[in-house]
Amino acid sequence: MSRAALLVLADGRFPAGGHAHSGGAEEAVKAGRITGAADLEDFCRGRLHTAGLVAASLAAAAALGVPARELDAAADARTPSPALRAAARKLGRQLTRAARATWPSDELDALAREFPKGAHQPVVLGLAARAAGLGAEDAAHCAAYESVSGAATATVRLLSLDPFAATGVLARLAPEVDLVADAAVEAAGRVRGEGCGALPAAGAPVLEIGAEVHAGWAVRLFAS
Amino acid sequence: MTTAGGGVRARARILARHRAPGGTFLPVLESDGPLALRRTRAGGDEARVVLVGAMSGPLGGDRFEVEAEADTGARLRVQSAAATLALPGQSKSEARYDVRVRVADRAELCWLPEPLISVRGSDLRVRTDVDVAPGGRLVLREEQVLGRAGEEPGRLVSRLTVRTGGLCVLDQEVACGPGAPGGWDGPAVLAGHRAVGQVVVVRPEFGERPVAAGRIGDLCVVMPLAGPAALVSAVAADGLRLRRLLDEGLAAIG
């Protein structure tokens, strides 16, 4: 594998549209659940161990070659909010386009044909990692880190939070990101024998409910 | 019922079968130790069963299983007489509570128990596994209350999986209390609320006409799932408020 390829895929500037999404932070800020760096850390930690763990395991399983169709259905079942399912597919479509241009591969072409409206983003991320010559661990790390980095960046804009404080949150979460990625890879490795039921299903009720509330707003800074 | 390894093992079973004309009977109604089942007066062609806690529990180390099945065309409603208390036990190991629900074609099953209360020091893992045939109908409610009034909760992990026609439409796990992954009480997961619950509704017609997503209360929404199913999801300060929200959400589905 190429360590530099991992940096390209994980780079926040990778043109896959992630910057337009706040990972639920916009709604949480408006509702007063995030008011500063301490709340942001708590928010990100909860997100990491729920949505982040699920995304990381989907990405790892896709990187291991589990069929995208199965993983996409598993992602649907783990995402009760229709607003979040739509956001995940939109991000998946954008990532498919960027990844195909960056790391041309038959598998990504097939994915684009099979899911013209986009597959769930973590599934695409796993296949993009595969196309880039990366492994399941890399894919899981990317997904787990993305599950918190987007919310942290968005909160800087939403609250005019000190960017150093937000980066400090991410640095403090780094050991937990590693643990979540490890757990995700372990679960993904069991999918071949046990099916997609082996994937974690950790849910965050307030994130799901908040996403629906957010989708009902007339004016939003972020798409989700 | 057996007691082994520091805990009680109990398995209760309900089987509902359609009997023409217009009735449902219960060829299997097996109570076991702490899991006592009582048949109550039927409502129309629907058979009704109440789960009565004959002992307290589940306690640490206990392993409870409940199976409910509605056979082709049968209508079954299962309720419980009181809240289930997850309690700490002599055994240091976790307690398990497994629920398996099967709904056959043209059958309808309403699974509407009282809340599960996670008492301080308890350690319970709940697994609810539901299979609905393509023409079957389901209403399933689950409510978790974290601690009795003013009390810290125990550790609770609860996973709900619902499949219909072989498609998994819902797979959600909530983990809370001491030892749960970080952030469970924070702004992304429960945001300090002490009651969390959901009602999942499966109806064949939702495949073509999904319910409209809608907001019921501050933190309660109705959502169409990816398949012929809908979900009411809510968090609230306590069990009473939670029930009100879930009832309102269910009424909105119609």
Model confidence at B46, in pLDDT bands (50, 70, 90)?
very high
Q: At A164, is the secondary structure helix, strand, or coil?
A: helix
Pairing outcome for strands B229-236 and B220-224: antiparallel
Q: Which residues of A touch B143 (CB under 8 A)?
A: none
Q: Which of B15, B68, B13 is nearest to B35 (CA)?
A: B13
pLDDT tens-digit map of B111-151: 999 999 999 999 999 999 999 999 999 999 999 999 998 89
Domain presence at residue A100: yes
Q: Which residues of B touch A76 (CB under 8 A)?
A: 169, 225-227
Q: Which of B196, B223, B227 sits opposite A212 (nearest CB)?
A: B223
How many residue pairs from chains A and B have C-beta atoms closer than 8 A?
130
A202: part of which helix (H) or strand (E)? Answer: none
Q: Which residues of A touch B186 (CB under 8 A)?
A: 39, 42-43, 45-46
Query: What is the count of structural domains for chain A?
Result: 1
Rounded to a whole number of angstroms, the distance from the CA of A133 to the nearest CA of chain B is 31
Q: Measured between CB atoms, does B161 come within 8 Å of chain A? A: yes
Domain presence at residue A124: yes
Domain presence at residue A84: yes
Q: Measured between CB atoms, does A97 come within 8 Å of chain B? A: no
| Chain B stretch 189-228, residues whose beta carbon is closer than 8 A to a beta carbon of chain A | 189-191, 193, 196, 198, 213, 215, 219-221, 223-227
Domain regions of chain B by residue span? 12-253
Q: Which of A73, A176, A206 sits opposite B189 (nearest CB)?
A: A206
Containing domain of residue A82, as a range? 34-215
Average pLDDT, chain B: 94
Percent of chain B with pLDDT over 70: 98
**Residue tagged 């398949």 (tokens):** B227
- Say which CATH number the domain at A206 has: 1.10.4190
Burial label, B195 (beta-carbon count in 10 A; 0-12, 13-18, 19+): buried
Residue-by-residue pLDDT tens, chain A, 224 positions: 688 999 999 988 888 888 899 999 999 999 999 999 999 999 999 999 999 999 999 999 999 999 999 999 999 999 999 999 999 999 999 999 999 999 999 999 999 999 999 999 999 999 999 999 999 999 999 999 999 999 999 999 999 999 999 999 999 999 999 999 999 999 999 999 999 999 999 999 999 999 999 999 999 999 99
Rounded to a whole number of angstroms, the distance from the CA of B42 to the nearest CA of chain A is 34
Domain presence at residue A20: no
Percent of chain B with pLDDT over 90: 84
- Cis status of the peptide bond prior to B58, with omega within 30 of 0: yes
Domain presence at residue A28: no
Which chain A residue is nearest to residue B210, measuring alpha carbons? Answer: A82
Indicate if the pLDDT at residue B64 is higher than 80: yes
